[in-house]
Amino acid sequence: MKHVIAIDIGGTKTIGSLFDENKNILEEKRFPTNPKAGPDNLLNALFNVIDELVSKYEVDCISVGSAGRININDGSVFFASDNIPGWTGVKIKEILEERYHILTVVENDCKVAGYGEEWNGAAQGLDNYICITLGTGVGAAVKAEGKMIHGSHYSAGELGHIILHPNGRQCNCGLKGCVEQYCSGTALTKIYNEKSDSKIETGYDYFERVKAKEPLALEVLADFVDDLFNVILTLTNSYDPDRIIIGGGLIDTREYWWDQLMEKIAASPISKLFQVDVVPAALGSKAGIYGAAYLGFKTPQEQ
C-alpha cells in the first residue's frame, strides 16, 4: 500500500495529511503559518508537519499545494505576489528532497483544489472543467480537453488578475480593476468599509451584516454577484467547459448569494448556448488536501 503526504500551505495554517491509496486520511498535522513573516516561517511549518508524519510511516511521495505561480518541472516558486514576501524563487522540491530523500511534487494551490474535485468531488470524470477558488485571493484550475493548463510561465488560470473593471480598484499586481479586487473575501470587506463608516476586519463580520439584511451590505453583495457572473461569462466563452466549480472560503457563505447567481445565469443567453453547469465545490476547504494527495499518487507512475 502506497502512502502520500499531502500538504496545503495556507494563509493561517499549513495542513499535512497522510493518505493511503484508498483516499483514507490516516493522520493529520497542522501548524500555524504567517506568510507575511517570510519564507522561513512557511518552510518551518512544512518541516514541522512532515517531520512528524515521516517518523511514523513509510512515505512514497510528498505533494505540496502552494500559493503563487509554481514551476511544476522543478517544483520551485516561479512568482509569488507581495502577499507572501520572499516566496518567489524558493526551491520547495529541492529543499524537501534534500531533507527527506522522498520524491516531492509541488503545484499551485488553486490547481491542486481542481485535482481534489476531480479525484473525489464535483469534477470526477470531466475532461473540461474550471474550478474557481474565491478566497483571500482568486485563482482557478482550468482543465481543457483532458489537460490541466499551465501556460508558458505557469500563469494560466491566474483568473484573479483578469481585468473586470478597466481603471478600477488598484491591485497589488500593479494593474487596476482585477477580478481579485471585487470577487475575493478580502475585497468584499474592503469595499463595504469604503462605502460605509465601518472598520470591520473580517469577512465573517461582513456576512453578519448581510445576515441582518443591512441595505449597504446587501448592495455590496449584489455587485459581487454581478461581477462573479461576468467572470463566469468570460470563462465560458474562453474555454467552453462542461462544468464550472466554485470553491474557496467564500463558498461557505453561498446561502446568501448562490440563488441570485443561478437566476442570473438561467436568464442569460449563455445558458442556452453553452448549457454550462455551475456548481459549488463538493470538498470545500478539503479540496486542496485531496488534490495534493491525488497528484502525489499519480506522479511516481508517470515519471
Whole-number Å distance between alpha carbons of 53 and 50? 5
List the one residue out of 184, 81, 77, 80 whose CA is nearest residue 139: 184
* Residue with Cβ nearer Zn ion (25 or 175): 175
Shortest distance (Å) from residue 270 CB to Zn ion: 25
Please say which residue, 64 or 187, places its beta carbon nearer to Zn ion.
Answer: 187
Give counts: helices (H), strands (E), the chain: 10, 12
State in angstroms the smallest separation of the CB of 45 from Zn ion: 26
Alpha helix ranges (H) inside the chain? 39-54, 92-100, 109-120, 180-183, 185-195, 203-211, 215-239, 258-267, 270-273, 287-302
Q: How far is the CB of 175 from Zn ion (least distance, A)?
A: 5
CB of 171 or CB of 232, closer to Zn ion: 171
Kindly tell me which of 187 and 217 has the beta carbon lying closer to Zn ion. Answer: 187
Cell numbers for 206, please give them.
461582513
Q: In angstroms, what is the minimal distance from the CB of 127 to Zn ion?
A: 29
Binding site for Zn ion (CB under 5 A): 161, 171, 173, 175, 178
Smallest gap from residue 151 Cβ to Zn ion (A): 16
Q: In 3D, which of 96, 98, 105 has the Cα closest to residue 148?
A: 105
Give the single-character DSSP code of 110.
H
Task: Please name the amino acid found at residue 93.
Answer: K
CB of 115 or CB of 182, closer to Zn ion: 182
Cβ pair 168, 217 in contact under 8 A: no
Looking at the Cβ atoms of 70 and 96, the one nearer to Zn ion is: 70
Min. distance of Cβ 189 from Zn ion in angstroms?
Answer: 17
Asked whether the beta carbons of 211 and 252 are under 8 A apart, the reply is: no
Q: Which residues of 8-28 are buried (b: 16+ CB within 10 A; e: fewer)?
A: bbbbeebbbbbbeeeeeeeee
Kindly state the smallest distance separating residue 119's Cβ from Zn ion, in Å.
30
Is the CB of 173 or the CB of 216 nearer to Zn ion?
173
CB atoms within 10 A of CB 57: 14
Cα→Cα distances 62→14, 19, 47, 164, Å: 14, 10, 12, 37
**Between residues 194 and 255, which has the closer beta carbon with respect to Zn ion?**
194
* Smallest distance from Zn ion to CB 22, Å: 41
